[in-house]
Amino acid sequence: MKLLLLAWMALGLVACSTNGQIQSSNEGGVQPHIRATSSDQVASSASLISTLLNQRHNWLEAKFIDVNSFPETITAANREMFDESGIVFSSVIPVTDTSLYLLRVGVFEDRQSQAGRFLAIFDEAGRVLQVFEDRTDGAAFSALRREPGRVLWVKCFECGQYDIVSRVPSGFVLD
């Protein structure tokens, strides 16, 4: 697991704090522990998006969300509130002592020009394990928030709408 974590750190998908705790990444974020997007990371993101589009035949386009996706709404005045909220756009969760899963959020447009948000869960090889879609409320925002013992899929930053992502023997469910 340590080698895998180091590989994901090199790609900028996860960062570690000085005390060795795993922290989630939100590409291009403003928090000091978040790594900026590198060319390796862009290639990795493009590869993951390509994998998603190959599996989701009804999707025309998909994009991972990061803090730079909202330049007009995340101003200097509300950036501090955003940073303090614990909101991230990707997160690594341990599954066993030797494997991790990567959770990434984004938005998509389907072939009927309808927008939606998604939560994609990848294994350490970059294979898509599960994808959740949501098309409510214009589907412009999607994020994650780690809390002790759980991960929340946040669908509205201002109103606090979320689903709890839970691991079950057959994969993941939303509560």
Structural domain boundaries of the chain? Answer: 38-174
DSSP-derived 3-state class of residue 29: coil
Give the model's pLDDT for residue 106: 93
Count H helices and E strands in the chain, helices first.
3, 12
Most confident of 18-22, 40-44, 66-70, 77-81: 66-70
- Joined together, the tokens standing for residue 31 give 């928090």
Please check whether residue 46 is in contact with residue 52, taking contact to mean a CB–CB distance below 8 angstroms. Answer: no
CA distance linking residue 75 with residue 79, whole number of Å = 6
The tens digit of pLDDT for each residue in 25-44 reads: 333 332 222 222 333 443 47
State the pTM of this model.
Answer: 0.72
Q: Which residue type, as a one-letter code, is found at position 22?
A: I
The tens digit of pLDDT for each residue in 99-146 reads: 889 999 999 999 999 999 999 999 888 889 999 999 887 667 889 998
